[in-house]
Amino acid sequence: MRRFFAFIVITCIVTLAASAQEGGVIVYSYPANAGPINPHMYSPNQMYAQEMVYEPLVSLGDDGRIHPCLAESWEVSDDGLVYIFHLRRDVRFSDGAVFDAHVASRNFDHILANRARHAWLELANVITAHEAVDEFTFRLTLTTPYYPTLEDLSLPRPFRFLSPNAFPDDGITRDGIKTPVGTGPWQVAAMRLGEYDRFVPNDHYWGKKPVPAGVLVKVIPDPVSRALALQTGEIDLVLGQGQIGFDTFAAMRADPAYATGVSDTVGTMAVAINSARAPTDDLRVRQAIQHMVDKDALIGGVFLGAQPRADFLFAPSVPYADIGLKPYGYDLEQAGRLLDDAGWRLEPGQTVRMRDGAPLVIDYCFVGNDAAQKAAAEVLQGMAARVGMLLNLVGEEEDSYYRRQKDGNFGMIVNPTWGPPFEPHAMLGSMRSASHADYQAQLGLPMKADLDAAITRVMRSVDETERAALYRDILTTLHDQAIYLPLHYAALLSVHRPDRLEGVHFGPGKSKYPFEDFQKKD
């Protein structure tokens, strides 16, 4: 992996200063490097970069529907087990290699050789065969009907396509790739660890050619430094989630020198509460946490009204999610009664509840350089103190944070949902995988095995009535067990100077940044 971070040059060698001054190059920033940009793997590969470089068979459109991409059309058998894709005939990778059904099948060989890592995504579990029927016809065969097949194929990873010249000589792509080469509108030009990643247009791209001459992504971990870089002209654009503080965003929104934007809902900012670890293994403690949070104050104080409050894991607009659940209301007295019932007593003159000589302390874990997560954590810490609970704030860099999600070493952990097209099916499917915080948080539930079985059934159901009933049961159980503390329905934010950049808009989902449509003003 190190070779990808050691100043790789694919098409040209550039310096940071020259890149920033070159006309037509959009200068963006991100908290970390894009990683090796392996299309078939996860962190530290950043999804926005995977979306820039690689493409799927089908894609999510701005209208929320599935559209053709590398496949021009497709057919599904009556029994839902066979998908036949008719591929575009004019597609080349950025290295000039031809994309065809044989290359598609080879990519699936590598993806499914690592099937265990992708088990959170049900499609990876139900593919029984894939083959090139002819040069431009690709067939997938499933073991069982799976209604979100096309949605899974449209995701940023892992079902995207690497050039045949970039496969490892030995092993599979799980172990690394030679170079990040895809069919997307962008190709990697250079990477320097801790400094920047540079992308230039793919000259072989089959679709609409990118407008800008390139995208330079500077590594700026701190949101305050990022805002200053925008103000001084060091970068052209802030775009995404957690990229800038809400107070800074509000100030820039009121300044006519800046153009700002707020996207449609792209998920829920939620906190997972660990049912397998004391003290949150007690349902009454989890319910008390729900009642102690004044969400309206949180939304107004931290998010400054830019994000709507959330009472449920998924927004009502998400398919199958509008089921009439009753929200947990803000009620400090009810929170106190629940904690009293659980044996946590607040003695006179004390600020933290005690039980059996131990204080009521919960580790609250989040990404330390995410401005919104940090601010929300501090406000929640103050709200917890009102009921005699101490939230121990653990703000860490992303790798450490993700390790906690996987090993369950948390009491509460920020756990955003993934937005379209992941919701609800893929998000629920991941709850069965030990590599996700959802699994770890649910592990102490007595009905965990039944939940996992119901999630499997709902994704394989061909009966719409049965599917809706299963979703209702799953979401009701998670709500009643108080496993998630929803804070707000999340939106992406953008800020740029209109005298330097135009055409800025949001893409579908939370990881598609449509740089190819933006235009830099010289």
Rg for the chain, CA atoms, rounded: 24
pLDDT higher for 318 or 15?
318
- pLDDT for residue 435: 82
Q: What is the CB neighbour count within 10 angstroms for residue 133?
A: 13
- The pLDDT assigned to 160 comes to 98
- The helix-helix angle for 283-292 and 371-385 (nearest 10°) equals 110
In terms of Cβ atoms closer than 10 Å to its own Cβ (0-12, 13-18, 19+), residue 139 is middle
What is the model's pLDDT at position 216?
98
Q: Taking residues 347-362, report their average pLDDT.
A: 96
Return the SS3 of 77.
coil
SS3 189: strand
Distance from C-alpha of 224 to C-alpha of 246, rounded to nearest angstrom: 11
As a whole number, mean pLDDT of residues 247-275 equals 94
pLDDT tens for 407-429 read 999 999 999 999 888 999 999 99
519/213 Cα distance (integer angstroms): 9
Q: Is the pLDDT of residue 229 over 50?
A: yes
Q: Which of 99, 98, 174, 105 is nearest to 141 (CA)?
A: 105
Q: What is the pLDDT of residue 147?
A: 93
Q: How many whole angstroms separate alpha carbon 119 and alpha carbon 159?
A: 13
The larger pLDDT score, comparing residue 150 to residue 301, is at 150
Q: Give 4's pLDDT tier (boundaries 50, 70, 90).
A: very low
pLDDT at 318: 93
Does the pLDDT at position 492 exceed 60? yes
Name the residue type at position 221: P
Is residue 30 exposed (0-12), middle (13-18) or buried (19+ Cβ within 10 Å)?
Answer: buried
In this structure, what are the phi and psi dihedrals at residue 158, rounded to the nearest 5 degrees?
Answer: -100, 0
The three-class DSSP label of residue 468 is: helix
Amino acid at 113: A
Query: What pLDDT does 9 receive?
Result: 39
Instruction: Pick the closest to residue 93 from 205, 168, 12 (CA basis).
Output: 205
Q: In this structure, are strands 196-201 and 58-60 parallel, antiparallel, or unpaired?
A: unpaired
- Residue 297, both tokens: 């104050």
The pLDDT-based confidence of 371 (bands split at 50, 70, 90) is confident
pLDDT for residue 436 is more than 90? no
* 184 vs 239: CA distance, rounded Å: 20
pLDDT for position 306: 78
Q: Is 197 within 8 Å of 186 (Cβ atoms)?
A: no
What contacts 121, CB < 8 A, 6 or more positions away? 152, 155, 158, 426, 429, 430
- Give the three-state DSSP class for 267: strand
Lateral strand order in the sheet of 137-142: 71-76, 82-87, 137-142, 127-134
443 within 8 A of 280, measured Cβ to Cβ: no
Phi, psi of 360 (to 5 degrees): -85, 90
pLDDT tens digits, residue range 88-128? 999 999 999 999 999 999 999 999 999 999 998 999 999 99
Alpha carbons 147 and 134: distance in angstroms, whole number: 26
> Taking residues 460-482, what's their average pLDDT?
96
Amino acid identity for residue 488 in this structure: H
DSSP-derived secondary structure for 125-178: HHEEEEEEEETTEEEEEESS--TTHHHHHTSSSSS----GGGS-SSS-GGG--S
Q: Is the pLDDT of residue 205 over 60?
A: yes
Q: Is the pLDDT of residue 22 over 70?
A: no
CA distance 459 to 426: 9
Residue appearing with tokens 């607040």: 346
Residue type, 5: F
What is the spatial distance between Cα 330 and Cα 465, in angstroms, rounded to a whole number? 34
Residue 449 has pLDDT above 90, yes or no: yes
Q: Does the pLDDT value for residue 19 go beyond 90?
A: no
Phi, psi at 468, each rounded to 5°: -65, -40
Mean residue pLDDT of the chain comes to 93
For 214, list phi and psi in degrees, rounded to 5.
Answer: 175, 170
Quick one: what percent of the chain has pLDDT higher than 90?
Answer: 85
Which residue(s) pair with 60 in the sheet?
Answer: 66
Quote the tokens at residue 436: 């996700």
| pLDDT for the residue numbered 20 | 39
Supply angle C-alpha 319, 325, 328, rounded to 5: 125
For residue 6, the model assigns a pLDDT of 39
